[in-house]
Structure 1
Amino acid sequence: MSAQQPTRRTVTLALDMVGDDERRARIAWSRLLEPGRERPRHDSSALAAAIEQDGHVLAWQRLCAGDLDRAESARARVAEVDVDAEIDRVRRIGARTLIPGDEEWPSALDHPSVAPHLIYVRGAGRLDLLARRSVAVVGSRASSGYGEAVAREIGNGLTRAGWSVVSGAAFGIDAAAHHGGLTGEQGCVAVLPCGPDRIYPASHARLIDAVSREGVVITELATGMTAQRHRFLSRNRIIAGLSRAVVVVEAGLRSGSLNTAGWAESMHIPVAAVPGPVTSMASAGCNEWIAAGRAQLVVDAGDVIRLAGHIGEIDGEEVERLGPARSADVLTQHQRRVHDLLRVRKETTVGELASALLMPVEEILAQLGVLSVQGWAVQGEFGGWLRGEGR
């Protein structure tokens, strides 16, 4: 049985609701048509092809008029779209919409493989500025301590060098990369597989809020949309497209993070991987991509910056400081974990350190005492702690 088609009055209201406004047309389509791109070289649907050919405004007009082939189901849902209500929902959650032509719109999102209807943004950062020097750091949700430590180190090294970390805020490697990135001087970008009014995973609400305070949290999905498997895969193309390189820290043979690497590969964006033990299934995907020559082997932020940076853009002294020879290598593992979470300008409390590192307060105080003597930590005027550069 065919879907009930809209009445003439419904069509008129739908046309008037959008008019000739590009932003309103894109908002309307975001409520009606998900990108549906789950893997590289995925064929566009008939509706997506019509939008690519005619643009969002004309395609909306043609849809309402019944002038698009294989669009009966979409046309039947036109009455469900309320652009004004969506704009109000976005405003109430403190988000904003970005479309091509906006000052904050990154040109990377214009790539045909990425090309969302629009991007919903929450946060104090500017997406265009963060995307100019950005690296995606992704990996398995079922990560090991080794993988998480490497992801934190790479995330911290990148943001200390003025690069932003792009990831998905998921469990495991994504979260570790964001945690490392938040300890540096540059913001992070978290790309969610749900609407801007939702948090996924819910237990990462504090992490995602932290990202939004100095970076941005973005999604292409309209309000109310929940995280589902196909949305994870589709969002991976945005993570890859926004980045100058994609680094896979830990991934099994069938890990979703290799889907992100596949998107990068299809867009000719450099792919790197961190090697792991040959006995570890958590690193099997990384090791396989390195062996096949599909990913360049990297071990730290310096390697990643050399891969992602253009000629003349990298400060050789800066890369050397991030490499194995830096004097901070004299720190023990626990001291380094505490030091990596300290910031140069913003004080971090002992309680925040204990919570982030899952360590007793007494242990944190002991490590801070040693770091303070060595100049790696400085107590601030409000009782918190700041990062030092050592003596």
Structure 2
Amino acid sequence: MAESADQAPGEEHLLAAAYLSRVAEPASVPLWLFVQQHGYLTSAAAVRAGNVPAEVASCTEARRTAADPHVDLAVAERTGIRLLTPAHPDWPHFAFAALQVTGLRRAAQWRAGLRARPPRGELIPPLALWVRGNAPLATVGVRSVAVVGSRAATAYGEHVASEFSYGLARHEVVVVSGGAYGIDAAAHRGALAAEGCSVLVSAGGLDRPYPAGHRHLYDRTAEHGLLVSERPPGSAPHRQRFLSRNRLIAALGTATLVVEAASRSGALNSAGYARDLGRPVLAVPGPVTSAMSAGCHALVQRDEEPARLVTSVAEVLSYCGGGQQVGGSEDAAAGGEARSRSYDGLDLVARSVLDGFPGRGRSVTEAELSRLSGQPITQVIAALPVLREAGLIAVAREGYRLANPAR
């Protein structure tokens, strides 16, 4: 059981979290389970002493004596970086609700002996996040779009990513991406041009921009939005860290928009994570002769859970919360059709939870909704992000309410 000291992010708690974020690679299931059971302070002390189960030792032994959280926190303070854990009020609990559900599911599999790492990577919450910037992280996942795509983007892809991100930011939608060349950079710059909020999720330390040519983009994003990473300062962006980083991009986006992607692309990894989290996956069509659009076309053509094809900002808005429309009646009709498709795509549990909502816009808590719908509280918590992403419900001061009370 976690010790009471872990209930507030004091100095000892942050030292423990900084140590744990350094001592193992991101998305380590055995370490995450160990911390869930024992808390940050006890876990950090046990890892440093080498008094841990074999599976935890295997992922921490190489760095357990060399990791120095005092150095990492000192560098973070000098460079304007802060460390967050789930105990911090700015932790994105709403965005990570689905990630928590998939993490608990993975924990059950692990305890049942299913230890093989999934090809895409482990879909579990992070232990801690290093953050730079002044925008509130806690509300990022409420109305946001993860915009991903190829580094070797075409002029068409960069234009679409920039224009869509500009339009989304103008409608107060947070744009989330990974800071890479190509589609990522175009998305960040489009949002910044609209003076909107952009969130850059890095695979390495935030004091070490990657690619190096994007240092100015990192600085501009930190000024108007947020830089986020699981890795402490100084960390290099290794390949596996890019793959684990992609799950955070998908989790922080209410929906994931793939602008351009080859048939073998890291953007498809992000889309897979989004699908596993129950988030809408959107894809922009491209020329049939372009290899950079082959991945988008394949997503749309999937037999199971195909991506939604989108061709305008208005169509993207209909999937990222609030049901806000742009343009005239034609756009409004398209949005209504999109919401109907979203409802039709719900599973039986999500429909049951939705049917439990009272009318007239009255808000309800998760516990109330469990009673009204007859679904277990865990099922309600899992269904709420799905309903939010479908634009069917909205966050209220006292819980949740129907996005359209006249449904």
Fold match (TM-score > 0.5): yes
Match for residue 133 of structure 2 among 123, 135, 157: 123
Report how many residues are paired.
Answer: 297
1:236 corresponds in structure 2 to: 246
Contact 1:153 1:300 in 2 (8 A): no
Contact 1:27 1:117 in 2 (8 A): no
RMSD over aligned CA atoms reads 2.4
Match for residue 223 of structure 1 among 216, 227, 233: 233
Match for residue 132 of structure 1 among 130, 142, 146: 142
- Separation in 2 of the partners of 1:268 and 1:201? 31
Instruction: Give the partner amino acid of 1:189.
Output: V
2:14 corresponds in structure 1 to: 23
Instruction: Give the partner amino acid of 2:316.
Output: V
2:299 corresponds in structure 1 to: 289
Q: Within 5 Å, which residues of 2 pair with 1:113-262?
A: 113-262=123-272
1:56 corresponds in structure 2 to: 40
1:103 corresponds in structure 2 to: 89
Over the matched positions of the two proteins, sequence identity in percent amounts to 41
CA offsets 1:199-220 (integer angstroms, 9 cap, x no match): 0111111122111111011111
Instruction: Give the partner amino acid of 1:288.
Output: A
In the superposition, relative to structure 1, how do residues 322 and 30 fare at CA in structure 2: closer, same or farther (>3 Å)? Answer: farther
Contact 1:154 1:301 in 2 (8 A): yes
- Separation in 1 of the partners of 2:220 and 2:198? 9
Instruction: Give the partner amino acid of 1:314.
Output: G
Counterpart of 1:78 in 2: which secondary structure? coil
- Separation in 2 of the partners of 1:233 and 1:294? 22
CA offsets 1:42-63 (integer angstroms, 9 cap, x no match): xx54333322333322222332
2:311 corresponds in structure 1 to: 299
Contact 1:302 1:322 in 2 (8 A): no
- Separation in 1 of the partners of 2:147 and 2:31? 33
Counterpart of 2:96 in 1: which secondary structure? helix
**Which protein shows a greater Rg?**
1
How far 1:124 sits from its partner (Å)? 2.7
- Separation in 1 of the partners of 2:286 and 2:241? 29
How far 1:319 sits from its partner (Å)? 5.4
- Separation in 1 of the partners of 2:42 and 2:231? 21
TM-score, normalisation: structure 2 = 0.68
In the superposition, relative to structure 1, how do residues 217 and 72 fare at CA in structure 2: closer, same or farther (>3 Å)? Answer: closer
2:78 corresponds in structure 1 to: 92
1:314 corresponds in structure 2 to: 323
How far 1:67 sits from its partner (Å)? 3.1
Match for residue 53 of structure 2 among 52, 69, 78: 69
- List runs of 5+ in structure 2 lacking aligned partners: 1-8, 104-122, 333-407
- Separation in 2 of the partners of 1:286 and 1:106? 29
1:80 corresponds in structure 2 to: 66
How far 1:114 sits from its partner (Å)? 4.1
- Separation in 2 of the partners of 1:63 and 1:262? 33
In the superposition, relative to structure 1, how do residues 61 and 301 fare at CA in structure 2: closer, same or farther (>3 Å)? Answer: same
Shifted more, 78-87 versus 268-277: the winner is: 78-87
CA offsets 1:257-281 (integer angstroms, 9 cap, x no match): 0000011011101101001111111
- List runs of 5+ in structure 1 lacking aligned partners: 1-17, 38-43, 325-391
CA offsets 1:165-213 (integer angstroms, 9 cap, x no match): 0001111111111111112242100011111211011111112211111
Instruction: Give the partner amino acid of 1:30.
Output: S
- Separation in 1 of the partners of 2:311 and 2:61? 51
In the superposition, relative to structure 1, how do residues 201 and 323 fare at CA in structure 2: closer, same or farther (>3 Å)? Answer: farther
- Separation in 2 of the partners of 1:134 and 1:62? 38
Instruction: Give the partner amino acid of 1:60.
Output: A
Contact 1:192 1:218 in 2 (8 A): yes
CA offsets 1:332-391 (integer angstroms, 9 cap, x no match): xxxxxxxxxxxxxxxxxxxxxxxxxxxxxxxxxxxxxxxxxxxxxxxxxxxxxxxxxxxx
- Separation in 1 of the partners of 2:155 and 2:295? 17
2:387 corresponds in structure 1 to: none
